[in-house]
Amino acid sequence: MARHRATDPAHRLGVLLADAGGPGSSGAEIPLSPGYFGAEIRARFDIVGFDLRGTGRTDYIDCETTPDDPGDEPADQAEFDALRARNRQLVADCRARNLPVFDHADTATNARDLDAVRRALGEDRISFHGASYGTLLGQQYAERYGDHVRAMVLDGVIDHSVDLAHFVGDRAAAVDELFGQFTAWCARTATCALHGRDVLATWRRAQMAADGMPFPHNWLRDQVYADMRVPDWDDVARVIADTAAGTSPVRAEFTPNYEAVRLAVVCQDFDLWMPTFARYSAMHAEELRRSPIMRGSTIGHGEATACLGVAGPPANPPHRLNVSKAPRILLLSSRYDPATPYAWAVNAHRQAPANTTLLTYEGSGHGAYRRTPCTLAAVDGYLLTPKTPRHDFSCPA
């Protein structure tokens, strides 16, 4: 755990706990990062973060990777069997290396840890700011301990009610919608490396070229996806142009131990069971139907297929949001978010209309809090008061 004490203790409003998601990000780093929250929030709150189970400086979940990677898009029964066998062995080895925490790292358990932190701090109520996967921690805390919540901001909302088709398909659709925003940007921006060219045609040529390069399958999609999360449109354009011309590096990076932690967290928070090749094929066909441009979502497809190796039902199964004991929660989402689709924020809001207000950032990228003065003022104003409009509102791109 780490704490940054309020710099204006005479006007201190309490404790603000924060989680940056991942899963795999270090929550304890947030209070030590002066740019995460602005000066007024740091003046009025003790900022507190803690490393969730398996992350940061806790019992860090670490898995050995296997050199015989069969890829995560099996084309037939034999390739599906090979992928499932490989993932089962990977999960078994990872679990054995990381007991006992591996079996007790789901988000419902982390929510109980969050309340233990609240009690240890001696606080009756806390404020909470969760981003990305951290929004699921906030939701599950509010469901169980809503009467201990003063204010809660959830930025980049996870929808814990989704089934396999929506877990993968909604993300697939979101990346294609975001690619459309990139295309529009390139058409109006002279500095875009693809300006004046047929972006979709160039993208298809780049995909064909990438398939023939000695890099992991779908590396181009993964790199473009990583840039789109920011978004870094300049780099998206350069990567596509370079690849179409026959040269491009592989640079995609994610949270340090994300690929290990997701086995213990995501696979226990969602029901991603695919017992047969027919079930996988149906999921993949729907993914490609909803995402003909990007060929699906890096994160959605990758998490679903990684969980092929996990046996049994999830410890923390999906369910509809019920935060009836909590005060009004501010949900925040970019209109074009490739990781946590806007549709997820809308659906979470629909499940708890009496206890949530939705703020839409009408722009692109994963997460919206610090995008513009409008989003920043809305979130900080809510945390400081805490009052949020009963009607949904938006901030321009």
- 251 or 193: which carries more pLDDT confidence? 193
Across the range 155-169, mean pLDDT stands at: 98
Across the range 355-365, mean pLDDT stands at: 97
Respond yes or no on whether the N-terminal peptide bond of residue 373 is cis (omega within 30° of 0).
no
Euclidean distance between CA atoms 375 and 368, whole angstroms: 7
Q: List Cβ neighbours of 33 (8 Å cut-off, separation of 6 or more).
A: none
Confidence check: pLDDT of 65 > 90:
no
Respond yes or no on whether the N-terminal peptide bond of residue 100 is cis (omega within 30° of 0).
yes
Please return the burial class of 240, using the count of CB atoms within 10 Å of its CB with bins 0-12, 13-18 and 19+: buried
Check residue 70 and give its pLDDT: 73
Q: How confident is the model at residue 256 (pLDDT cuts 50, 70, 90)?
A: low
Q: What angle do CA 14, 17, 23 make, to 5 degrees?
A: 175
Confidence check: pLDDT of 66 > 90:
no
Across the range 284-291, mean pLDDT stands at: 97
Confidence check: pLDDT of 117 > 70:
yes
Across the range 264-292, mean pLDDT stands at: 96
Euclidean distance between CA atoms 171 and 27, whole angstroms: 25
Q: What is the mean pLDDT of the chain?
A: 95
Task: Give the helix ranges, DSSP H, for the chain.
Answer: 39-44, 77-97, 107-121, 134-145, 164-188, 199-211, 219-229, 233-244, 258-264, 266-269, 277-290, 298-306, 342-351, 373-384
Q: What angle do CA 329, 333, 338 make, to 5 degrees?
A: 140
- Token pair listed for 25: 């990000």
Instruction: For 20-40, write each residue's pLDDT tens digit.
Output: 999 999 999 999 998 899 999
Check residue 17 and give its pLDDT: 98
Check residue 216 and give its pLDDT: 84
Confidence check: pLDDT of 56 > 80:
yes
Q: Bridge-partner residues for 362, per DSSP?
A: 396
Check residue 68 and give its pLDDT: 64
Instruction: For 198-241, write each residue's pLDDT tens digit.
Output: 999 999 999 999 999 988 888 999 999 999 999 999 999 999 99
